[in-house]
Every structure is written in structure tokens, then in C-alpha cells.
A = this chain, B = another copy of it.
Amino acid sequence: MPSISTPSKIAGTQAQGAIVHFSGSTSQEREAVVTDVVRATGATLIPPYDHPDIILGQGTMGLEIQSEVASMLAAGEKLDAVIAPCGGGGMLSGIAIALHGTGIRVFGAEPSFQGADDARRGVETGERVASVKTLTIADGLRTPLGDYTWKIISDKEYVRGLYAVTEQNIKDAMKLVLERMKCFVEPSAVVGLATILYNEEFRQMVEKEGGAKGWNVGVVFSGGNTTIEAIMKIFGDVEESKKEREEGVLGRDGSRVAENVAG
């Protein structure tokens, strides 16, 4: 972990029995420490998203969604689409592969703040955006696509479209999920719901394709790595951290954020 990680994340990981190794926050520094650990311990490196095994593992969510709607299918209804958050793209790629050929459309959702919608922009121009520097409150989605995930996500046969939402959209959706669904999720978790509720382009597309009946959409919520303190920073009018954010020192979750570069 970068040594600047939120203390609660470090403590939470250690509480699960993990041995945490610390590094600097650039990918070069992280990889140097990983190489040392692998050499010293014989450990197997599990990359966070850009690896076929990870993609296939996360893709089991696609199977889970299908089994969850089994009773709906039995009643003659169908699942028309699934929307999932997109950061490094491992989860979205896996879901797209799992649902390929089922007739269920797969969409990706990203934050738009400071260019965090790298996947959407890349697909638009046909060229992968390899580097992103954003302090979006959806801090799990600050990473750009990797080589594997770009190949899948830029293929319309797998991912039908990508949509982006504002920081305010994310906060509004998060408030709804916490207060009404009673689920304590992190900002990254709600970009799919925020797209459905607030992205006019997405809504018009559904209206056009789904007609009066609309669509049954499966919405992926991932994940829940947040704290009361982080929620207070996001929703509070804390002048100090606001100032630091403007200066680019603090992420909205209070972590000191460095540039996220894929690969």
C-alpha cells in the first residue's frame, strides 16, 4: 500500500490478517516494492485489474446478476441491461464477457471530474487514454483502463456504451442510497445509479430503445470501502480540506493522492 493510504484502510486490511508492505505512491515505486516482496517470499502477484484472471473473477458478478433475476425471468420478464462502474475496467470487462451473447446490454459508468471519464473519451476518439490525474470523490475510479481492459471495453460487441456523471450527481445518488436503501457505500459504487437517474443522454437512449415499457436494468454497486469520517468530508463544508483539494493535495476521502498511471 502507498504509505499515504487512509489509516482506516491500512488498519482494516491488517485486521483481516494481512501483512501490509508500504511503498511510495507512484506505480514505479509500488512495483519496485512488489518485485522485492515476490523475490523475498515467493509470493504470487495479483494485479488489481489488468489481468485475464482478475477480469474472469470479477466477471462472476455477471453470473450472480443472472441468478438473482431468475424468478423475474420465470415470470416472463427479462433483464435488458446491466450498468457497472468503470475505473481500471477489470470489473466492467468481466461482466461484459460473462453477459456476452445473452442479449443483455452492458454499459459502463464513470465520473467526469477532471477527465476521470478516460474510458468514455478513449472510445470516442478510438485511442486509449493511458494517464489520468483526477481527484474525483469516486476515488476507486481514478485509474485509467489497462491494455486488456481497453481491448474489451472499446469493443461495442462487449460494452455498448460509456457514460459520465458529475461530482454532484454522485453525491445526490449516494445520499439516496445511504438514506433510502440504507446501504453504506463509497462514492465509486453509485456512478451506475447516478447515470440512470441523472445522465440525460443515457435516459434518452433508454426511452428511444425501451419505449413506454422502458428497461429492466441491473445496477452494480461496488464497493463499500468508506468511513463516517470520509462521508463527513464529502458532504461537509469543511473549508480546510476544500482548500487543500483546490491545491490538489487532498483527495475527497482525505487521502493524499498521487498521479494514477496505468501499467
Contacts and interface: CB of A to CB of B under 8 A. Distances in A.
The 8 closest A-B pairs by CB, nearest first: A182-B184, A182-B224, A178-B184, A184-B184, A228-B235, A232-B232, A179-B227, A175-B228
Given A228-B231, A232-B236, A182 B185 contact: yes
Interface string A197-239: 0000000000000000000000000001011110110011000
A183 interface: yes
Interface of A: 8, 175, 178-179, 181-185, 224, 226-229, 231-232, 235-236
A175 B185 CA distance: 14
Nearest to A186: B182
Contacts of A178: 184, 228
A178 B178 CA distance: 10
How many chain copies? 2
Given A231-B231, A236-B232, A226 B179 contact: yes
A183 B185 CA distance: 9
Contacts of A232: 231-232, 235-236
17 contacts: A175-B228, A178-B184, A178-B228, A179-B226, A179-B227, A181-B184, A182-B184, A182-B185, A182-B224, A183-B183, A184-B184, A228-B231, A228-B235, A229-B235, A231-B231, A232-B232, A232-B236
A232 B229 CA distance: 9
A35 B227 CA distance: 45
A114 to B, nearest CB: 24
Nearest to A15: B180
Contacts of A184: 178-179, 181-184
Contacts of A182: 183-185, 224
A236 B229 CA distance: 9
A175 B229 CA distance: 10
Contacts of A179: 8, 184, 226-228
Nearest to A177: B184
A228 B173 CA distance: 12
A179 B231 CA distance: 11
